[in-house]
Structure 1
Amino acid sequence: MEVLIIPANVIASLKEKNLYVRCFLYELATKRFSDVMWAMQQNAVKETGCRR
Structure 2
Amino acid sequence: MTDDRARAPTWHLAQVNIADPRAPLDSPELAELVANLDPVNALADASPGFVW
TM-score in terms of structure 2 length = 0.34
Looking at both structures, which has the greater relative contact order when contacts are Cα pairs under 8 Å and sequence separation is at least 6?
1
Choose between structure 1 and 2: higher helix proportion. 1
TM-score in terms of structure 1 length = 0.34
